[in-house]
A and B are shown apart, each in its own frame.
Chain A
Amino acid sequence: MTLVASLRASATVFVAALLQVVIVSSLVVAGGAPDLLLLVVVALGLLRGSTPGAVLGFAGGLVVDLVTLGTLGVTSLILTLAGFWAGRYGETTGRDRRFAPIIAVGTITVLAGAFGYVLHYLLDVEVAAGHALVTALAPAFLLNLLLALPVHAAVRAIVGEGERDASAPEVEVLV
């Protein structure tokens, strides 16, 4: 990533983290709220690759944990893995697929919800599984899917897409 692209990506994640904490978290529809920061991290992973996705996910999570005075590292851990996974998907199977953002966002929303629940359980935080994994996750999943393409387009317009190595195929036939 160039310096300009890195700065733009960092600023995007910073603004998305603040927007998530200040506004988006309180936009509860049918019991769940969209996760703008997760959408931005997934879009950055798809557009710029797994390493920037993981680094920006970690940074975004750290901003959220600092602003909300939460347990430092929890959101960072979830978003690091989300950004990395999105990046790997974008570099391999999801490459050039039109609906890659939707598939990535849908999968990562569910995985992040389940991983977040397990993490909080391990940290001895009381969370009702039914609420965390169904009541809140189902509407959040739908809202994230709804916002996946617009957010992806916005992030692409701001940060741009990383260089591609089109000559590298995924698999090679050894007949």
Chain B
Amino acid sequence: MSRQRSARSAALGLTVRRIPTTSPRGGGPLRRRLVVGVLVLAALVLISLTFRSDDSGPLSGVQSAGATALRPFAVGLERVAQPFRDVYGWADSLLTARSEAEALRAELQEARQRAIQSEFALQESVYLRELLDYIDSPRFPADFDPVAAEVTGRPSGAFTQAIVIAAGSKNRIRVNDPVVNADGLVGVVVRVASRSARVQLLTDEEAAASAIDNRTGATGIVRHARGTRETLVLDRVRKQDVVRRGNEIVTAGWRAGSLSSLYPKGIPIGKVTSVGQTDTDLFQQVQVDPYVDFGSLDAVLVLVPTGRP
């Protein structure tokens, strides 16, 4: 009724006065503004403190304690949800099973041939390394202990591509440890609590990894392709380097003095889906389809350097 009256009065050009809302649902106006003001201020203080404190700061300890306290709930809920997720995955895989099987058959044939060639190359490589006493960058799996961890959550929204895993500093995990799964490179640890850790996925806007074309040796930097959720690009590939469609991209794993790449050498990243270049661009435009299905990660391996206490 009041709404109709106000609409009519507006049409007729009548003067109206707003009555302060004194609804018991919202409390008084002053109290309401005070509460929201305090909450906004508290949120801003939390943001500032999080940014100003380092990983060993007091707020980090509070966050770690909070995450540890909430971990059982998240893990429990994850276990309850797992059967439903499996059913969803099973139904989804039924739709794509036929085309996937054909592609896998072709891939298997190619892999068999390459495995034989690789075996010869490996024997030769071992022999030559022994002769040269060659010092290499860290390699997986020889120089790392894998720590298996369940994925317990992922932040919502389109702003970050990350997952939370159920293993932390108590499992010897530290910031910048690489994370993989059976398919290939997943990402890197960016924050660690005592029993959980946050992993930045390779598809995050801020993630990057030095990479190499496994067949031609062309090097570049793999990073997220802008505007898409799960496509990667191999950036900074020189025009004179050769990259072909279908080639496999793996981590480059470099070492320069005491510094070395975050990622060990030879972890599969993905397959080249397109290569293009224009006269004006300095580098080639290489699109990479990642092997890892970042949308359905259930468990991952964190690579902890051998010998870490």
Seen from chain A, the residues whose Cβ lies within 8 Å of a Cβ on chain B are: 18-26, 28, 31-33, 35, 37, 48-52, 54-55, 58, 61, 63-74, 76-77, 80-81, 84, 87-88, 90-92, 113, 116-117, 120, 123, 125-128, 130-132, 135-137, 140, 162-165, 168-175
Contact = CB atoms under 8 A, between A and B. Distances in A.
Contacts, number: 223
Given A68-B154, A131-B228, 4 more contacts: A76-B43, A131-B227, A163-B25, A173-B9
A80 B51 contact: no
Contacts of B205: 125-128
A125 B160 contact: yes
A33 B154 CA distance: 12
A50 B37 CA distance: 12
B93 interface: no
A131 B44 contact: no
Interface string B275-309: 00000000000000000000110000000000000
Interface stretch (B69-77, B235-243, B262-270): B69-77
Contacts of A140: 158
Interface stretch (B12-20, B113-121, B135-143, B176-184): B12-20
A66 B21 contact: no
B228 A20 contact: no
Interface string B51-85: 10000000100010011001101100110010001
Contact of A135 (B47, B198, B227, B296): B227
A10 to B, nearest CB: 14
B109 interface: no
A33 B161 CA distance: 13
B166 to A, nearest CB: 11
B26 A72 contact: no
B155 interface: yes
Contacts of A164: 23-25
Contact of B40 (A21, A33, A81, A173): A81
26 contacts: A21-B153, A21-B164, A25-B155, A26-B154, A33-B156, A51-B31, A55-B39, A58-B43, A67-B71, A68-B154, A73-B46, A76-B46, A80-B36, A87-B25, A91-B26, A130-B226, A130-B227, A131-B226, A131-B227, A131-B228, A162-B25, A163-B25, A164-B25, A171-B2, A173-B16, A174-B14
A68 B162 contact: yes
A25 B156 contact: yes
Nearest to B77: A22
B23 A165 contact: yes
B197 interface: yes
A163 B229 CA distance: 45
B159 A23 contact: no
Given A76-B43, A165-B22, A174-B16, A69 B77 contact: no
A74 B228 CA distance: 24
Interface string B147-179: 000001111111110101000000000000000
Contacts of A49: 23-27
Given A125-B206, A136-B229, A67 B45 contact: no
Contacts of B70: 18, 63, 66-67
B43 A31 contact: no
